[in-house]
Chain A
């Protein structure tokens, strides 16, 4: 499916002048990865983390563009239990998405994307038997481009992103969890672009 989307978005004869390259940096909040109870209830949740994104965007036709985006977040894991918050390791999450963007006005656009996400972490804790492979991921985003000369020159954009994936690892299955948990992530990023 990804290949089909890619070829749809990027036919071989597309002009390179329409392609732009974007880098974004921001902060991300993630919802609970694991909710568990051993005597008391507790949550395993990533800490607020930096988000780094690189994208290649191509204009399909006026008002529409497609992109491929690599989204990287490194975060500490915290166990929230009994009013306290305790270190539970760390991870880096890589998300690769293919997206379709609709430009409503010259300054506002929205994006829908699908792709996959993979966690990388040392083999301890919930990742002790591996990261669980690639999780399907869906994302939506709203983008605002400030109508300022400097912003337009550097293709500056502010974007609010939301994505969702289902999380489970082999160690959690070993522990007795039988189904995945939806994990919601929200990020606010500032983006700069070149080309196009």
Chain B
């Protein structure tokens, strides 16, 4: 009887050990690398922060709630990845930063966001500076967030917009160089959603398991 119990137990273990789960299909990533065609050659610009440069160091403009916006956006992108492919921190010294995030022109007041739909209230720009070879960054990535002048949006609507645009621009700074063609993605040219979509997730996953062609700037 005891031998039978042990045999059944061992058989159960052996059966369980044979099971190997199927790997999920990850279709749906959009094009995130830049391509340029010069004569007969196609050049692919694929940038991501390599493991040796993690955590990525962000410096946030100390005015208003920029630090909050940057930390929130870092957290949102980190949460898209399951296996520790990406980590970011906000640093206090801009001199040692990998990404510098600043306000352009006016600084919006730190008020609770008004998520009701409103007029286009803010914008952002991410700038990469390449070295002479074109295969490495020459310095930190610069991100600028802007309150659109003349916009009739309330301060709360500006803050809601800044949350979206901060995630969008930090997506660029992490290597999602191109815009999505679909407005359900946070990387759509003028983002209207508050968080990354399934396709944004697929894209950043694919990016952080790709071989980059552009190296990060020297430390």
Q: How many A-B residue contacts, CB cutoff 8 Å?
A: 83
Q: Beyond the given A124-B84, A177-B22, could you list 13 further A-B residue pairs with CB under 8 A, ordered by the A residue number? A: A34-B82, A34-B83, A36-B82, A40-B209, A42-B83, A86-B51, A112-B6, A138-B12, A168-B21, A177-B24, A179-B19, A180-B21, A184-B17
Task: Report which B residues bind A (CB closer than 8 A).
Answer: 6, 9, 12-13, 16-26, 51, 54, 78-79, 81-85, 205-206, 209-210
What chain B residues lie within 8 Å of A178 (beta carbons)? 21-22, 24
From known contacts A39-B210, A180-B21, infer whether A128 and B16 are also in contact, taking CB-CB under 8 Å.
Answer: no
Judging by beta carbons under 8 Å apart, are B20 and A181 in contact? yes
Q: Which residues of A have CB within 8 Å of B84?
A: 77, 79, 86-89, 124-125
Bound CA span A171–B16, Å:
22
Q: Inside 8 A of B82's CB, which chain A residues have their CB? A: 34, 36, 125-126, 128, 171-172, 175
Overall SS of chain B's interface? loop
Interface size class of A (residues with CB under 8 A): 35 or more
Chain A residues, CB < 8 A from B209: 38-40, 42, 81
With A39-B206, A84-B51, A112-B6 as contacts: A175 and B79 at CB distance below 8 Å = no
Instruction: Give the distance in Å from the alpha carbon of A136 to the alpha carbon of B83 in the complex.
Output: 24
**30 chain-A/chain-B pairs, Cβ below 8 angstroms:** A36-B82, A36-B83, A38-B209, A40-B209, A42-B83, A42-B209, A81-B209, A86-B85, A87-B84, A89-B84, A124-B79, A124-B84, A126-B82, A128-B82, A138-B9, A164-B13, A164-B16, A166-B16, A166-B19, A168-B21, A176-B24, A176-B26, A177-B23, A177-B24, A178-B21, A180-B21, A182-B16, A182-B18, A182-B19, A182-B20
Cβ-based interface call for A189 (8 A): no
Question: Closest Cβ of chain B: how far from A135's Cβ, in Å?
Answer: 11
The docked-state distance in angstroms from the alpha carbon of A79 to that of B209 is 12
Question: Given A35, A128, A184, which contacts B23 in the complex, CB threshold below 8 Å?
Answer: A35
Considering the complex, give the chain A residue whose CB is closest to the CB of B24: A176
A positions within 8 Å CB-CB of B: 34-40, 42, 44, 77, 79, 81, 84, 86-89, 112, 124-126, 128, 138, 164, 166, 168, 171-172, 175-182, 184
What residue in chain A is nearest B84 (Cβ atoms)? A88
Residues of A within 8 A of B85 (CB): 79, 86
Assembled-state Cα–Cα distance A176/B24 (Å): 5
Instruction: Give Cα distance in the complex from A115 to B178, angstroms.
Output: 50
In the bound assembly, the distance between CA atoms of A40 and B25 in angstroms comes to 13
Partner of A176, one of B16, B25, B51, B206: B25
Known A39-B210, A184-B17; contact A124-B22, beta-carbon cutoff 8 A: no
Contact residues in A for B21 (Cβ distance below 8 Å): 168, 177-181
**Contacting pair A179 B83 (CB below 8 A):** no
Q: Which residue from chain B places its CB closest to the CB of A64 in the assembled complex?
A: B2
Q: Which A residues are in CB contact (< 8 Å) with B18? A: 182
Q: Which A residues lie within 8 Å of B54 (CB)?
A: 87
Residues of B near A86 (CB, < 8 A) are 51, 84-85
**Cα separation A124 to B21 with both chains bound (whole Å):** 22
Which residues of A are found within 8 Å of B16, using beta-carbon distances?
A: 164, 166, 182
B76 CB to nearest A CB, Å: 12
